[in-house]
Amino acid sequence: MSRAVTIVDVAKLAGVHFATVSRALNPSTQAQVSPETVRRIQKAAKALGYVPNAVARSLRNNLSMTVGVTIPDLTNPIFPPMIRGIENFLAPRGYTALLANTDGRPGMEQSAISSLLERRVDGLIIATGLDDHVLLPRLFEQGVKVVLANRGGGSVPYPLVTGDDRSGIAMAVDLLKSLGHRRIVHIAGPDNFSTSRTRRDAMIQSCDEAGIACQVVSASALTAEAGEKAMDDVLSQRQSFTAVQASNDLLALGVLRSVRRHRLRCPEDLSVIGFNDMPFSEEFSPGLTTIHVPLEDIGTESARLLFERIQNGKNDSVLVRLPVSLVVRGSTGPAPKKQRV
């Protein structure tokens, strides 16, 4: 690219000092310049195809107008809506999001955050759902603005935005109970995800209170494949149960596949219920009954909290727990009279 046109070029053409160009082109200082001069400068800028250099501005202002967002994996369908929520809030305010995938690996998370910090993001939305790493306290100490999204609270007093997992699980248990189910299997996610633990514990508690027997099985990852494998294992054990509640929809999808392969009918032989209401869970066969989590809202709220903290310099803690709701579709039905499983 031939050398970019700068404020100095514009100044020459308009016949003013380059500082005046800066004032004229900046909304907040434009009033300091005479309207006539402003017009002249704008004309010159357009004529030359001037494009402001945000990098130089960032260096000078110590403000990059970017925020970093770390997620485990973009291809996990719960994240695109969250990210849209984040961008919908930030873009109109002049902010751009830098995305980093961590694949759930603490090492990658660390290097991703380092890279974002080097780029001098004004704040961070961490949605990796992993346990507190050593990094977090250090970030807090340094005054780095962070909002934690979609994960459980840790020891560090950063703001936190999640769906209401406990009440979601309670809704699921209620539904199953009202359908006559008395023995449920819970497919839990890996233990190092805070949501996995929260949902599992809530499940045990809700079932306990409802007088329902709950068997917990852990999947090795939050994927359909892991869910399928976990369900295969459960079915091979010939336990008796009439319903499965999975820690997320991807696991539930795996359960559905396993059930189909074992020639069981859902929901006639077995009810299945997920968590998240991820995009397209409606299209599974059968359509997945699940707990709807307002993913886009989680994104929007996280962005709002971060934005506020960047603006006012505070770093105070809040807990935003967004309400969830039950979505009943085809994968749940009355408990079978004669247990087929």
Q: Which residues in this chain contact its own copies in the complex, by CB under 8 A? A: 1-2, 49, 51-56, 58-59, 64, 66, 73-75, 77, 79-81, 83-84, 87, 91, 96-101, 114-115, 117-120, 142-144, 253, 279-280, 283-286
Q: By C-beta, is 202 or 256 nearer to its own copies?
A: 256
State which of residues 1, 12, 13, 17 lies at the interface with DNA (CB under 7 A): 17
Minimum CB–partner distance for residue 68 and its own copies (Å): 9
Query: Closest distance between its own copies and the C-beta of residue 207, in Å?
Result: 28
Which class for 243: exposed (0-12), middle (13-18), buried (19 or more C-beta within 10 A)? buried
The yes or no reply on residue 33 touching DNA (CB under 7 A) is yes
Q: How far is the CB of 307 from its own copies (least distance, A)?
A: 16
User: What's phi and psi for 54, nearest 5 deg?
Assistant: -65, -25
Tokens 């929809």 correspond to 249
Which residue's entry shows tokens 């603005």? 145
Tell me the β-bridge partners of 124: 68, 146
Query: Which ranges constitute the DSSP H helices of 237-314?
Result: 249-261, 295-312
Q: Is 59 in the site for DNA (CB under 7 A)?
A: yes
56 touches DNA (CB under 7 A): yes
Q: Where are the beta strands (DSSP E) in the chain?
A: 66-71, 96-101, 123-126, 146-149, 160-163, 183-188, 213-218, 243-246, 271-273, 290-292, 319-322, 325-327
Per rule CB under 7 A, is residue 74 in the interface with DNA? no
Beta bridge partner(s), residue 185: 215, 244
Q: Which is nearer to DNA, 43 or 260 (CB)?
A: 43
Q: Which one of its own copies, DNA, none is in contact with 23 (Cβ closer than 5 to 8 A by kind)?
A: DNA
d(CA 280, CA 289): 12
Q: Which is nearer to its own copies, 114 or 220 (CB)?
A: 114
Residue 39 or 340: the one with the smaller Cβ distance to DNA is 39
Please select the residue that binds DNA; options are 23, 183, 200, 304, rule is CB under 7 A.
23
| 47 binds, options DNA, its own copies, none, Cβ within 5 to 8 A by partner type | none
- At position 46, the amino acid (one-letter code) is K
Which of residues 1, 2, 36, 75 is near DNA by CB under 7 A?
36
The verdict on 18 binding DNA (CB under 7 A) reads: yes
Contact flag: residue 2 with DNA (CB under 7 A): no
Q: How many CB atoms within 10 Å of residue 327?
A: 17
- Chain centroid to CA 91: how far? 17
Residue 308, contacted partner among its own copies, DNA, none, CB below 5-8 A by kind: none
Q: What is the DSSP annotation of 198-245?
A: HHHHHHHHHHHHHT-EEEEEE-SSSSHHHHHHHHHHHHHTT---SEEE
Nearer of residues 30 and 218 to its own copies, judged by Cβ:
30
User: From CA 247, how far away is CA 287, in angstroms rounded?
Assistant: 17
Q: In angstroms, what is the minimal distance from the CB of 197 to its own copies?
A: 27
> What does 300 interact with, of DNA, its own copies, none (CB < 5 to 8 A by kind)?
none
Q: Rule CB under 7 A: choose which of 13, 25, 112, 202 binds DNA.
A: 25
Say what the alpha-carbon torsion angle 77, 79, 81, 82 is, to the nearest 10 degrees: 160
- Count how many Cα atoms sit within 13 Å of the Cα of residue 155 in the half-sphere of its side chain: 10
From DNA, its own copies, none, which one binds at residue 64 (CB under 5 to 8 Å depending on kind)?
A: its own copies
DSSP state of 289: B
Q: Which is nearer to DNA, 62 or 75 (CB)?
A: 62
The contact set with DNA (CB under 7 A) reads: 3-4, 6-8, 15-20, 22-23, 25-26, 28-29, 31-37, 52-53, 56-57, 59-62
